[in-house]
Amino acid sequence: MTYLPLTQLAQEQISRHLQPGQIAIDATAGNGHDTLFLAQQVGALGQVFGFDIQQQALANTRQRLLDAKLEERVTLIHDGHQSMQARIPQSLHGSISAIMFNLGYLPGSDKSSITQPKTTTTAIQAATKLLAINGVMTILAYRGHTGGMDEADAVARLLKSLGNNGFKISEHRTPGPWLYVIRSCCQIAKPAWVY
């Protein structure tokens, strides 16, 4: 049996739900692979917001979008993903169709600059408020680098509280990274952190 890499599996899960004209967030733009994928999915009438705290990541993402002639579909934001609730226009809260997290460090860059458990869990909490009904969120957590295991464990603990609160969660664990796919399935009983 052939298994998809988890990066591809995350995109496949998003592609099942994200339609042209909808709105998506890449919470960790990195080198722009997911940002470009989301821009392709939402089409000319859709919109993507891409977050990254590193200027190099945003530059890499911007170039990838320029090469594909899709830069007009994307708003890049130089800020950490924990700020997404404040940085996404209020009018769009509750109407984001897809959110992607790819945790860890910027490939090909300084491995000491990594996503952190506290800011990542804050970002996931914010994402639950932004996600539309029947929206989908993917979280790819890498555990092999310093700090990666702590972050993956923090994400797992947080997501345990979502299952009975209007979200459906599936997980795909390998000896390396873990992938979580979260669907917002109803309006009632949102988690206590969602104000």
Strand order in the sheet with 96-102: 74-78, 47-52, 23-26, 96-102, 131-141, 178-184, 167-173
What is the distance between the alpha carbons of residues 50 and 31, in angstroms, rounded to a whole number?
Answer: 11
User: In the structure, what pLDDT confidence band is assigned to residue 28 with cuts at 50, 70 and 90?
Assistant: very high
Q: Are 35 and 58 in contact (CB under 8 A)?
A: no
Q: Is the pTM of this model over 0.85?
A: yes
6-184 to CATH, choices 3.40.50.150, 3.60.10.10, 2.60.120.10, 3.40.50.1000: 3.40.50.150
- 194 CB-near residues (< 8 Å, 6+ apart): 125, 128, 129
Token pair for 179:
């992938």
| pLDDT attached to residue 178 | 85
| pLDDT attached to residue 177 | 86
- 16 CB-near residues (< 8 Å, 6+ apart): 136
Three-state secondary-structure class, residue 133: strand
- 50 CB-near residues (< 8 Å, 6+ apart): 25, 26, 29, 32, 35, 58, 61, 74, 75, 76, 77
pLDDT (tens digit, 9 = 90+) per residue, 85-133?
999 999 999 999 999 999 875 565 655 566 677 888 899 999 999 999 9
Q: Tell which wins on pLDDT, 143 or 24.
A: 24
pLDDT (tens digit, 9 = 90+) per residue, 7-21?
999 999 999 999 999
| CB atoms inside a 10 Å sphere around CB 162 | 20
Q: Tell me the residue type at 184.
A: S
What is the distance between the alpha carbons of residues 131 and 94, in angstroms, rounded to a whole number?
Answer: 5
From the list 11, 22, 13, the residue with the least C-alpha distance to 48 is: 22
What is the distance between the alpha carbons of residues 82 and 134, in angstroms, rounded to a whole number?
Answer: 22
Strand pairing category for 178-184 and 131-141 = antiparallel
| pLDDT attached to residue 164 | 64
Instruction: Lowest mean pLDDT of 32-36, 76-80, 173-177, 187-191, name the range.
Output: 187-191
Token pair for 192:
């206590």
Q: Is the pLDDT reported for residue 155 higher than 80? A: yes
